[in-house]
Structures are given as structure tokens and as C-alpha cells.
Structure 1
């Protein structure tokens, strides 16, 4: 076990050094939840545990008020985000961005866009078009599905610059679209978000890790502002 933990720490350090050399800054230090808080709160719920360089949502540790989506303390506009994720069987989560944090909005998805994190075969959302892993949730279907089997790590990237959005999963570009233009408005109008006030309109916002009630892990979360 000690050898495994040491290997995980060494790998985490190597990834951070490589990213730093390319201008990326860690959003998660691998040891604490510094820089994060639960949406519309000031603390982090007990459901989010830090283990071996990962942020682990453990539903069994949530208690009465220990869950909720994690959001960054800082807001971002144009950015290149990198992160790794894996899910337990039948699990659902997501990386949500351009999140506007304000009490009138009850959840991160009330305003933010989502790159889906999912067990495609085990969760019911896997049967819904535009709800599968790597999709721009409910808006744009992935052009392919390079997702790894449940329990294995996936590497994802989100690049947003001057309204041009690119989603990458395991090195494969799976979504390319333009934000906030007329085509974007049409996409939103044809989605579940059509009547949601201000949804998908914010050009600056926070980044969130979704608590969908299922077990999920995140690591190697880093960002470069563009």
C-alpha cells in the first residue's frame, strides 16, 4: 500500500511539473480542497474526500449536509482546462463551467455548461442522446466515444477562447461549437434549458465538479487562462 501511495504522489508531482512548464496552474493541489467551496456556501462538504492525489465524492460520507457541487473560488473567461476523471459503476457526474454563483440560482447547472461524466452503459442517461460521456450535455453529441471502461481514468480537456469551444476526451476532439452566437441560441432553444433564465449566457464564471449523488473521482485538475 505504501508503495502504491508513493507512486501516486510521484505521478501527481510529475503531471504538475509538466503542466506548469506549459503555463498551466493547478486548481487542485492533490492534498487539500484549498481554492474550492460548495456552491453557494463557504465550506466543502464531507462527501468530498482527498485521497492519494484525487478528489473523491463518497456518497457514504455525505451525512445530512455534506454534499453539493464543488466550485472554484475564482472565475474564468477564456481558458484551457485539463482534468482526469473516473466513475464507479452506474455513476453520473459532470464538469460544469461558466457557472454564475448567486443565491437566486439553486445549482451550478442553473447557469453553467456541462461536459458529461458518466458510466454510459450503467446509468440511465447513457440511453439519452447528448447525455453520454464527453457530450456537451443536452446540446451537442460527441463526434465519437473514446471513453474508457468504468473504473479506468479518462483525460479530458475544455478549451474556450473568444466563443470557440472545444471538448477533448482521451486525446480525441469530440465537440467543437461556437458559444453565444445565433446558432448557440438555437441550440439552447432546442434543449431542456430553453426556458431557464440566463442559462448559457455568462462569459465569465466558475468551474464546478458535480455531485450527482454517485461515486466519482477527479485528479490532475489544472488550467491556463488564455
Structure 2
């Protein structure tokens, strides 16, 4: 092999290695960085409600909670993943809906009750979204305005058939959210059926067990809420996402 042929082969290999669609030297793959939705499936019939905007000089995935898709309205990755570390930034844009049914969640994941024995309910401004892990709505890491904070796994916390330690494990240890309108950073680690969630540098879930979670599946950015007669009928997913990357561990 001549020197020129060898250099050509090396340069070709480097071009493949550095392709934006592939992992970098540390194993990370960008799912959204430069404004492309190539890694994502926009729901059929959405009509432009999941879109890309530029905010503060950076491309973001923007959603207005009004997708016109007749079926599932979530934004879904084309790829499936098993064990991984997922990092991204998100923010809630606004909270025009008042949710009258926000519970007072105790550290063990159950709901506090008043002197009458009924669950306490709070009426608070609320927007609601999240990310489904391995294609499962039950394993959604929540993004919302509840006092309990983002990062909890509602589907497991509310499953009364699960052991108390599982329900407590998916309940955030603290509220680490920034105020509405500000950017938050998630680091989500999934290994087997164990989940760790770090929000803005604070570990809110650590080694929480998700019994029965699929071994592999896609990621989904959640649609939530309805819109009728000029107003939202439930907590809307008025959210933006940016700098989404994933490192497969398997």
C-alpha cells in the first residue's frame, strides 16, 4: 500500500467516525443538537405542532400541546435502546392551566390525607410532559409543576400492586426544578431494571427499581393535555427540549 492510498483510507475512516449520526470518541450519540429531527418520528397528521425553533441562539424542539395526529401524539426516536445514559435540557414555557387535582405526595409515594380521611388536593398552575423509557408509558420520567418535583415515575409510584419500597424508590428525594421558563438538565441512567435520575446536578432518584420494564425500546417525548374551545382541558405539554444525547451501555 502506498502512502497516498494509506492516507486516503485513514481520512475516509475518520470521516465515518466523525459523522454526526454516529457516536463520538466517548460513546455519545446526538439525538438532537443542530436542528435536525432525523432521529425522530413526527406523528402522522401532527401538522407542525412538533417543530424546531431557535431560542437564545440554539435549536430546540418546541411543542404546543396541540398535535392534530389522530393516534399517538408523542415524538418518538427511530432507534431502540437497552441500557444507556441519556442527557438533555428542557424547560416549561408557561403554565396557563390550573390543575385542581394535584396531590400532596409523601416521601413513600403515597398521598397525604386530611382530617376527613380524603386525599388532599392542591389547585396549582401546571404543565406536564416527560420522556418514556424503552417505549413504555409506565416508565415515564415526568416533567411537570407538581411540588414533588420532576423526575418521578408516576406509573410505578401509583401502582398499588408493587412493594412499598419500589413506590418509594420512584418518588423524588427532593424538588430540584428551576422556575418555569428556565432551562433544566436531566441525566437519566437506565441499567437493567434500575433507574437513576439527576436533575440540575441533584440526584432525585437513585437505583430505583422498575419491575417488568422492557429490555429495549424507543424514547418518547410526551404529549399531554387537550385543547378545545380556545382553552386547554388538562395540563398541557408546553415544553421545549435541546441538546439531547445518549450513550448506550450495552
| Contact 1:44 1:66 survives alignment (8 Å) | no
State whether structure 2 residue 239 is matched by structure 1 residue 222.
no
Of the three residues 112, 116, 132, the one matched with 2:142 is 116
Q: Runs (4+) of structure 1 moved beyond 3 Å?
A: 19-22, 62-67, 177-180
Distance 1:96 1:146 in 2: 20
Report the equivalent of 1:84: 89
Q: Contact 2:187/2:197 (CA < 8 Å) preserved in 1?
A: yes
1:47 maps to: 49
1:172 aligns with 2:184: no
Tell me, in whole angstroms, the C-alpha distance in 2 between the residues paired with 1:23 and 1:45.
34
Partner residue in 2 for 1:10: none
How far apart in 1 are the matches of 2:80 and 2:69?
29
TM-score by length of 2: 0.60
**Counterpart in 2 of 1:134?**
151
Select 1:29's aligned residue among 26, 33, 47.
33
Which one of the candidate residues 80, 84, 96 is aligned to 2:132?
A: 96
- Cα deviation for residue 48 of structure 1 reads 0.5
**In 1: Cα distance, 2:69 partner to 2:26 partner:** 41
Aligned counterparts of 1:67 and 1:164: Cα–Cα separation in 2: 27
Partner of residue 201 from structure 1, selected from 204, 213, 225: 213
CA contact (8 A) 1:45 1:67 kept: no
- Uncovered stretches (5+) of structure 1, i.e. residues with no partner: 1-15, 100-107, 121-125, 185-199
Question: How well do the aligned residues superpose, as a CA RMSD in angstroms?
Answer: 2.6
Q: 1:165 to 1:64 in 2, by over 3 A?
A: closer
Q: In structure 2, list runs of 5 or more residues that go unmatched.
A: 1-19, 96-125, 158-169, 226-235
CA shift digits 1:92-147 (9 cap, x unpaired)? 10111111xxxxxxxx52xx411110123xxxxx5xx6xx4121224221011111
Contact 1:30 1:50 survives alignment (8 Å): no
Q: Secondary structure at the match of 1:217?
A: strand
C-alpha distance in 2 between matches for 1:85 and 1:23: 22
Q: TM-score scaled by structure 1?
A: 0.66
Give the Cα–Cα distance (whole angstroms) in 1 for the partners of residues 87 and 42 of structure 2: 21
